[in-house]
Structure 1
Amino acid sequence: METQNLLTEIDGLLADMKAKDVQVLDVRGLSSVTDYMVIASATSTRHVKAVADHLTEQMKRRGTQPLGVEGQEASEWVLVDLGDVVVHVMQPQARAFYDLERLWARPEGAVQ
């Protein structure tokens, strides 16, 4: 699946499960692991797990096999690796603590 289509699919699936504050970070040139990171908040450990499970199941149905899923045990932060896109579903406290948006921000004036 083309990356822009994948991002659109992910956005829709996160919206289906009422994920909050969805952000897409373009990390091309900053990371050799992935091109985009999608960060979304969920309201509880159950919600985090439900969102990640829904995303994983629906991507498999669409023919995109996740390369890995991490963090399902604690469900404060679940990472779903879809290759060109890595999705982070986090509780607000974990999201604020790790502040991935700031960590992966492009330096001021950087060209993408």
Structure 2
Amino acid sequence: MQTEELLKIVQTVLDERKGQYITTLDVRGKTSFTDYMVLVTGTSGRHLKSLCEHVAIAAKEQGCVPLGMEGDLGSDWILLDLGDVIVHAMTAQTREFYQLEKLWSVDAPKEKTYAAN
């Protein structure tokens, strides 16, 4: 499955399951462990868990086996690793505290060249 197809499945499932403030971060060129991070806000720990479980099921149905899920019922942040796409499902308070959008929007520092004396 192509990365963009997987990304579309993730976005669609999160939207259908009432995920809030779905944001996709393109992190290609910023990290080597994934291409996209999808952030979504859930209304409760149960909602976060449900969002990630439904995404995992939809991915499996398309032949993409999730690499892992961190966090559980009662967590304020659940991470679903699908390889090229990582889902961060968080409560509003946790999302505001960690501000992943801001963190990953910072560009890599430019290489500086120094003139030889």
TM-score by length of 2: 0.87
Where does the alignment leave 5 or more consecutive residues of structure 2 unmatched? Answer: 111-117
The CA deviation at 1:60 is: 1.2
Larger radius of gyration: 2
The CA deviation at 1:107 is: 2.6
Q: Does 1:58 align with 2:58?
A: yes
RMSD after superposition: 1.6
Query: Percent of aligned pairs with the same residue?
Result: 45
1:25 counterpart residue number: 25
The CA deviation at 1:98 is: 0.7
1:70 counterpart residue number: 70
The CA deviation at 1:75 is: 2.5
> Aligned AA for 1:69?
M
2:45 counterpart residue number: 45
Residues paired across the two proteins, number = 109
Where does the alignment leave 5 or more consecutive residues of structure 1 unmatched? Answer: none
The structure 1 segments of at least 4 consecutive aligned residues displaced by more than 4 Å after TM superposition are: none
Give the distance between the partners of 1:54 and 1:85, measured in 2 at CA. 15
The CA deviation at 1:59 is: 1.2
Equivalent residues of 2:46, 2:73 under 8 A apart: no
TM-score by length of 1: 0.90
Measured against aligned partners, the alpha-carbon deviations of 1:17-57 in whole angstroms (never above 9, x if no partner) come to: 10010011011111111111000000111111111111112
